[in-house]
């Protein structure tokens, strides 16, 4: 199965949708209340009007992979939906357009409990544990969700998969031109080894362009906090960019579970 979509409530659907279309380079569906990438999934972001909050995370797959369509409520009050995949035609490949979602990171009041729920109830596999996050996967991609240790239960960020590092870098330039310079990045992560650029969108949440996330097999050795330590002053492999910790911290708490 795979990560399909995230469903959000936002203060201004029209403005948020316009941003996701014109700057973030998604394609509108249903008059813009849903947005899709170039992969053959019906949509990857769903928007409804209201107090900013996260409604659900949706996974899709074949009937054999999913079984019966269902919802699960996790220990942080989070909602996971599992639906049978409805393929739609792919859009032409374009390095400037997101393909699909790569992963979602959630702030969790008990990341170890959230991880146990994901592995025991949802059937996911643990990939890595660091001091800050537990990374789980639902297919060969290193992580579809990570649970960050926090004092709140909230949406930490949503990551969109670009074709390659060039797509991420060009996306950083496009966002900078539109008045949204990166709050972290470009860089390359430890766990998952993916290239990243992080931004705070006009909706107030953190979004990421990413590429080159590691593909793993059942023989992947589960990493421990000791394996994923950076030298003093470093937070990624490259060390070429600083993090705007204060703004990121607030934006990672703007979307709590509805």
Positions that interact with Fe ion (CB under 5 A): 159, 208
Separation between Cα atoms, residue 64 and residue 107, nearest integer Å: 31
30-36 long-range contacts, Cβ below 8 Å, gap at least 24?
36/88, 36/91
Nearest distance from C-beta of residue 49 to Fe ion, angstroms: 27
Nearest distance from C-beta of residue 208 to Fe ion, angstroms: 5
Nearest distance from C-beta of residue 88 to Fe ion, angstroms: 26
Nearest to 186 by CA among 165, 206, 202: 165
Nearest distance from C-beta of residue 24 to Fe ion, angstroms: 15
Q: What is the CA radius of gyration of the chain?
A: 17
What is the sign of the dihedral through the CA atoms of 96, 5, 126 and 82? negative
Q: Which is nearer to Fe ion, 159 or 175 (CB)?
A: 159
Nearest to 129 by CA among 121, 139, 137, 140: 137
Residue closest to Fe ion when measured from CB atoms: 159
Separation between Cα atoms, residue 31 and residue 34, nearest integer Å: 7
Nearest distance from C-beta of residue 50 to Fe ion, angstroms: 25
Grouping H, G, I as helix, E, B as strand and the rest as coil, residue 59 is strand
Reading the block at residue 2, the tokens are 């795979």
Nearest distance from C-beta of residue 210 to Fe ion, angstroms: 6
Q: Which is nearer to Fe ion, 10 or 206 (CB)?
A: 206
Q: Which is nearer to Fe ion, 9 or 156 (CB)?
A: 156
Cβ–Cβ under 8 Å, residues 56 and 98: no
Label residue 204 left, alpha or beta by phi (over 0 means left) and psi (-120 to 50 means alpha).
left
Count Cα neighbours of 200 within 13 Å in the Cβ-side half-sphere. Answer: 15
Q: Which is nearer to Fe ion, 42 or 190 (CB)?
A: 190
Q: Which is nearer to Fe ion, 128 or 208 (CB)?
A: 208
Q: Which is nearer to Fe ion, 47 or 133 (CB)?
A: 133
Bridge partners (DSSP) of residue 177 are: none
Nearest distance from C-beta of residue 102 to Fe ion, angstroms: 7
Q: Which is nearer to Fe ion, 85 or 208 (CB)?
A: 208
Cβ–Cβ under 8 Å, residues 145 and 106: yes
């Amino acid at each position: 199965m795979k990560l399909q979509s995230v469903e959000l409530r936002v203060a201004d659907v029209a403005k948020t949708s316009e941003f996701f279309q014109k700057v973030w380079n998604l394609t509108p569906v249903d008059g813009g209340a849903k947005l899709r990438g170039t992969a053959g999934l019906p949509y990857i972001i769903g928007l409804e009007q209201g107090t900013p909050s996260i409604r659900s995370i949706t996974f899709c797959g074949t009937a054999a992979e999913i079984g019966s369509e269902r919802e699960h409520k996790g220990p942080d009050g989070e909602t996971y939906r599992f639906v049978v995949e409805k393929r739609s035609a792919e859009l032409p490949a374009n390095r400037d357009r997101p393909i699909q979602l790569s992963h979602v990171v959630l702030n969790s009041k008990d990341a170890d409990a959230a991880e146990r729920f994901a592995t025991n109830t949802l059937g996911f596999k643990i990939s890595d544990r660091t001091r800050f996050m537990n990374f789980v996967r639902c297919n060969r991609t290193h992580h579809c969700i990570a649970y960050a240790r926090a004092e709140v239960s909230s949406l930490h960020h949503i990551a969109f998969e670009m074709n390659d590092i060039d797509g991420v870098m060009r996306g950083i330039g496009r966002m900078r031109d539109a008045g949204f310079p990166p709050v972290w990045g470009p860089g390359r992560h430890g766990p998952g080894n993916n290239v990243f650029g992080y931004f705070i969108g006009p909706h107030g949440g953190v979004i990421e362009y990413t590429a080159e996330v590691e593909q793993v097999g059942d023989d992947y050795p589960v990493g421990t906090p000791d394996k994923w330590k950076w030298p003093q002053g470093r937070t990624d492999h490259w060390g070429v960019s600083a993090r705007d910790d204060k703004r990121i911290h607030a934006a990672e708490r703007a979307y709590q579970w509805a």
